[in-house]
A and B are shown apart, each in its own frame.
Chain A
Amino acid sequence: MEKLFQKISFSSATLVLILLLGIFTTLFISAKPAIAEFGLEFITDKRWNQEVSLPQTKTPAQVATPAQNLEDDDAIADEDDMILDEDDEDDSMTKTVFGGLVPIVGTLLSTLIALVFAMPIAMGIAVFLAEIASKNISKYVGIAIELLAAIPSIIFGMWGLYYFAPIISDTFGGYQVSLLTAGLVLGVMILPFMAAVTRDSMNTTPDVLKESAYALGATKFEVVKDVIFPFSKVGIIGSIILALGRALGETMAVAFLIGAVYSLPETITDPTISIPVAMAVNFGEASGLGESSLFYLGLILFILSFAVISFAKFYFLKRTKV
């Protein structure tokens, strides 16, 4: 019986690992053509699905990208293993280039905006719930916040598009669908989770510890700042990083709000695209190198989120030592 139980739990544990590795491998294999074609320059290349004419000579040359102003990303084509695009129609040699810079930047920036917006508000709510509000208020507001966290993201997307986006463009100018709109709604989405987890870790501060600070003549603000925050720091950082993980991967709401255009935003009120949105929008019609490039993007997102979550777990684990 004991043996059987051990075996079952062991195999379930390995199953998770296999699943993880399996997903990674699938992504990697599907992304391989794009990786072979574009290499790491994929990350710094802002062109997506663009026809580029090939120089006829063997000497390396700058590839012309008309309409777009080249910044310092060197768009030198790798001549040796160049794959020609099959559906070339005209005689001049062209190939289609895919680069991930725009969705990567879009993902990082929208997440950053979400964090900058959500963090102070979440901390404020958590402090209010954990320390300031009376037990009853704290309970009901707490429930409301947990309900907010349960709203499906598509609802946030619709609300954002019809209600929030016009307000944003009226206030800040620029487009209705933009990096800023997407970032702020993302912020609203991660806020409840962040506030709830932060409140929970603040509540783990032992009463006697707080009482000791009050007994020395500390004010409420000083107790929060000097005792509760340091004590629950690890949990708070963990909540922020987990929220970050969610913001990185959020698809539906962002798809509604970010504009889904492949151009680098010049200001935060410009529309752009994020990795999950690029994948959701383009998978239907993608084929060949385009499809593989989407997998490449997926792989990058996977690694990014994985790194973020492992970092959070690392912090959570360290907590037991305190």
Chain B
Amino acid sequence: MYSFTPTEEQQMLLDAVKRYAEGDIRPASREAEESTELPPELIEKGWELGILQASIPEAYAGFGDYSVLTGALAAEGLAYGDLAATLGVMTPNLFVLPILLAGSEEQKKSFIPPVIEMEWKAYTAALIEPTFDFDPQALETKATQKGKDILLNGEKIYVPYASEAQALLVYADLDGKTQGFIVPGDAEGLSVGERQKTLGIHACPLYSLKLEDVKIPAGNQLNGPDGHSMEGILASWHVALAAMAVGVAQAAYEYAIDYAKDREVFGVKVAQKQAIAFMLAEMGTDIEATRLLTWEAAWMLDEGKEEAYKHAFLAYSGAVDMVMMVTDRAVQILGGHGYIREHPVELWMRNGRGFAAFTGLAMV
């Protein structure tokens, strides 16, 4: 049967996320962007919602079952508040969820509980590399076997909270395949570069990272020396970003509606002009369409459906274009005022463009 109604539990989570996004994130987001700092209390409060904890089984100290769909619902709700804060709150997901999805039993038992039982701490992941055609399936960072150890060498960018990382999941190429490796934050050969400056999400602390003969035991490869498949992880990146793109777009869309119904031009409201009203209608339609495709992909992943990975990619790919279209139009609908930093639409437009480059920055 088709159904588009979340479960009661999901609805409760959604309500809590909405209160946090509207009551806490949104009021803090401009200040965070300008000062390039996410207040730790804000992050901690988001962490206390227990979104990640609720998707980890009891055996690993969580209190729920892993569900991409529930994660996607929450991610959309958070991103509706602000994207930088969302990425901040969800940074530990980048470390925990790949271990849950692809790690060995031993790795799950030893690495997951310390992260989710405590207050928010910087557990993060390093994936992205500084090339225009960056491809997670063809990494430049190399892993080489040396006896019982693995040596990691390469250069990463956009590593959230790298400067204070307790531990990271580093993705590197091992014999032509991308694999994840658990690396302690104080590993020798690991050097954190300057804080990176980006088009948007200024508040999210992103760093470059150099790995020079970083030595870790072979057992730190996800799932041990036998390695693991990347497909589930890739799909989770895709769904998470698609859901967040919907959240960002929804924020811009609602803001544009309110503005257009208030502002007058030529004796009528801006929204009464078809050129504007039609833009809004298309924005609303494409947001809902993208949301449904994202939910469907998430549901397929949860149900283990054939083609779920492909659907996750389709959802993400559609979301990348949708969020750019919607946020651009939101700025357009506000006219010159949209270009001024007093309004949030210019921020959403800058954040919106990021989804094309953010693969690996979010997981659900």
- Say if A and B assemble together: no
**Which residues does B use to contact A, with CB under 8 Å?**
none
